[in-house]
Chains A and B, each alone.
Chain A
Amino acid sequence: DGGITQSPKYLFRKEGQNVTLSCEQNLNHDAMYWYRQDPGQGLRLIYYSQIVNDFQKGDIAEGYSVSREKKESFPLTVTSAQKNPTAFYLCASSIRDRGQDDQPQHFGDGTRLSIL
């Protein structure tokens, strides 16, 4: 079955450490997204990519970095510059050019990041 796989499901980080969250999709989608979810704040867009080797900052990109070397993969690095990284991180994907009847973004099951 096609879908989006995020790993690991739970991740712990020490102060000053960079960590990378994995997101892989086998839906053949062009566009991929990273969101951060905090209680009571909904989802906020960190980065998105509409095509391989290209990506754009979202609303809260500071302290994060991404790469898009392959269509299937869009890893997110949480750097030590991100002062409050504890959150639930969601990866999503979508077909780049859609008609009105196509589905919007598909989501993975998320990675919960905590600071030790």
Chain B
Amino acid sequence: AQSVTQLGSHVSVSEGALVLLRCNYSSSVPPYLFWYVQYPNQGLQLLLKYTSAATLVKGINGFEAEFKKSETSFHLTKPSAHMSDAAEYFCAVSDDSSASKIIFGSGTRLSIRP
């Protein structure tokens, strides 16, 4: 069975500081990994995805994530936080290309301090 664990339900950083949101996955097959962002009272938007083409994946809004098989991790980073980055972030895993079943983590709420 697949699963994802997001460490820290709430992360707070200062504007301009590094953002690091942690995600560890469990999968018996090579996984497809995703990060989604959700703004208040809205749906989820895809930030980036890993599909085995490259271990460092760049996404929208300056975010990137690195797939580390040895650590079973797919942490999300951004060098310099902006106030507009405040949102909830979800890591997700799928074991097939059809994405018929995507397993979501419990989410990390990111707050940005002025």
Contacts and interface: CB of A to CB of B under 8 A. Distances in A.
A103 B98 contact: no
B92 to A, nearest CB: 8
A110 B46 contact: no
B44 to A, nearest CB: 4
Interface string A75-116: 000000000000010101010111111111101111010000
B49 A43 contact: no
6 contacts: A4-B43, A31-B98, A105-B99, A107-B45, A108-B43, A110-B43
Contacts of B32: 100, 104
Nearest to B34: A104
Interface in B91-109: 92, 94, 97-102, 104-107
Nearest to B42: A109
A96 B9 contact: no
Contacts of A96: 98, 100
Contacts of A104: 32, 34, 46, 49, 92, 94, 99, 102
Interface in B75-114: 90, 92, 94, 97-102, 104-107
A4 B102 CA distance: 18
B104 A42 contact: yes
Given A40-B9, A42-B104, A43-B104, A97 B98 contact: yes
A91 to B, nearest CB: 8
B44 A42 contact: no
A48 interface: yes
Interface string B27-59: 000001010000001111110010111000000
Given A42-B90, A107-B45, A110-B43, A98 B106 contact: no
Most central of A42, A102, A103 by chain B CB within 10 Å = A42
Nearest to B105: A42
A22 to B, nearest CB: 14
A62 to B, nearest CB: 18
Given A48-B101, A98-B99, A105-B99, 9 more contacts: A42-B107, A98-B97, A100-B52, A100-B53, A100-B97, A104-B34, A104-B94, A107-B43, A110-B43
